[in-house]
Amino acid sequence: MIVVQSIETRSLKKIYNSNTIAVNDISFSVEEGEIFGFLGPNGAGKSTTMMILTTLLKPTSGSAFVAGFDVATEPKKVRQRIGYVQQEITIDEYLSGRENLLLHARLNHIPKDQMRGRIDELLELVELKEKQDDAAITYSGGMRKRLEIAGGLLHRPKVLFLDEPTVGLDIQTRQKIWEYIKKIHTEYKMTIFLTTHYMEEADRLCDRIGIIDNGKIQAIDTPKNLKNALGSGIITLLIENKIAAAGLVSAIRKIEFVRDVTEHDGKITVFSSKGAEVAPMIFSLSTELGVTIQSISITEPTLDDVFISYTGRDLRDGNSSSYDQKKEHRKMKGIRA
């Protein structure tokens, strides 16, 4: 089977104002037909990467290819083959939904005899047919985003770029947008490259995920493999006497199947390859050491756990104080970074 790469970057780097390294030597590829997600906190370098891939920004060094063309030397060919839905809403609020799409179609040189058909088809797809003649100013946030996505699809791109397609929307609207993205993918079978802050979004939509932080790709794989790499059960226990935590933590670290242990304020989290076998061992250890366990639970790893394990922080808290510490710890444990 021949695997065609829709997107490829080679040692891509972007330095703003000669001092901010936004994208730091990243190399990755996305196969044709994949939904690929770029997951990372604020300022990670997601939009910068996307702007380079969509030809809006020149890289400082390295190269990038989209739909088979070099973004630096053949930007026009790239532009003809991609759709780009920006992070910010760009529709004209004073035009109706249909008028917005007409304008978009004209700007993209869609043949006149095909305009009407394509607009009808897309309004149907994003369920805006009934509202097509209302001014976009009357649309909700979710409806505006759906209109933007329809606009990005008018010229039938081979690769669709969605920068934070659901940021700022409520959970129900977010889920609706996810449905549309899935539907678009099934219908048009194009490659989709999206960036997101939302773990759930990445988990549900993406075939593969790249975790980006500080301009570097920290991990890249399918959501399933990323979660499996953390083990088969994360054990969380709360202990009564916090002072005794350190002793218990170092004892747990010595258990054969344990990969990593973190402790914060009496809450101990154990990453292991065999959760069900490790839990009883933790019980015996705590009895031996005279530590009382208040509660214990075993959960399957989520992408949140994956993100924390690679970056040392929660995607939402934006706190980098534990970042270096955590990375150091990973290095010591020999976990790939």
Ligand X SMILES: Nc1ncnc2c1ncn2[C@@H]1O[C@H](COP(=O)(O)OP(=O)(O)OP(=O)(O)O)[C@@H](O)[C@H]1O
Q: Which of 57/128 has CB closer to ligand X?
A: 57
Count of residues in contact with ligand X, rule CB under 6 A? 13
Q: Which of 26/230 has CB closer to ligand X?
A: 26
Indicate which of Mg ion, ligand X, none lies near residue 17 (CB less than 5 to 8 Å, by partner kind). ligand X
Q: Is 126 exposed, middle or buried (0-12, 13-18, 19+ CB in 10 A)?
A: buried
Closest distance to ligand X from the beta carbon of 87 (Å): 6
Indicate which of Mg ion, ligand X, none lies near residue 62 (CB less than 5 to 8 Å, by partner kind). none
Return d(Cα 41, Cα 292) in angstroms, integer.
37
Which position's Cβ is nearest Mg ion? 47
Residue of 11, 20, 225, 319 interacting with ligand X (CB under 6 A)? 20
Contact between 286 and Mg ion (CB under 5 A)? no
Residue 148 near residue 90 (C-beta atoms within 8 A): yes
Residue 36 near residue 207 (C-beta atoms within 8 A): yes
Cross-strand bridge partners of residue 69: 66
Closest distance to ligand X from the beta carbon of 44 (Å): 4
Closest distance to ligand X from the beta carbon of 215 (Å): 7
Return d(Cα 327, Cα 311) in angstroms, integer.
7
Which stretch, 46-54, 125-133, 169-177, 289-297, contacts Mg ion (CB under 5 A)? Answer: 46-54
Contact between 17 and ligand X (CB under 6 A)? yes
Residues 69-128 that bind ligand X (CB under 6 A): 87
Indicate which of ligand X, Mg ion, none lies near residue 48 (CB less than 5 to 8 Å, by partner kind). ligand X
Report CA 39 to chain centroid distance, whole Å: 3
- Counting every residue, how long is the chain? 337
Closest distance to ligand X from the beta carbon of 67 (Å): 22
Residues 306-325 that bind ligand X (CB under 6 A): none
Residue 35 near residue 196 (C-beta atoms within 8 A): no
- In angstroms, the first-to-last Cα distance of the chain is 31
Cross-strand bridge partners of residue 14: 23
Q: Which is nearest to 272 in space by CA: 305, 239, 295, 240?
A: 305
Closest distance to ligand X from the beta carbon of 22 (Å): 3
Contact between 47 and Mg ion (CB under 5 A)? yes
Residues 24-63 that bind ligand X (CB under 6 A): 40, 42-48
Long-range contacts of 179-188 (CB under 8 A, 24+ apart): 180/125, 180/126, 180/146, 180/149, 181/35, 181/149, 181/205, 183/125, 184/125, 184/149, 184/153, 184/160, 185/35, 187/125, 188/153, 188/156
Closest distance to Mg ion from the beta carbon of 164 (Å): 6
Which stretch, 17-25, 107-115, 180-188, 328-336, contacts ligand X (CB under 6 A)? Answer: 17-25
Sheet of strand 61-66: strand arrangement:
20-31, 5-16, 61-66, 69-70
Q: Which of 6/195 has CB closer to ligand X?
A: 195
User: Which residues contribute to the site for ligand X (CB under 6 A)?
Assistant: 16-17, 20, 22, 40, 42-48, 87
User: Which positions lie near Mg ion, rule CB under 5 A?
Assistant: 46-47
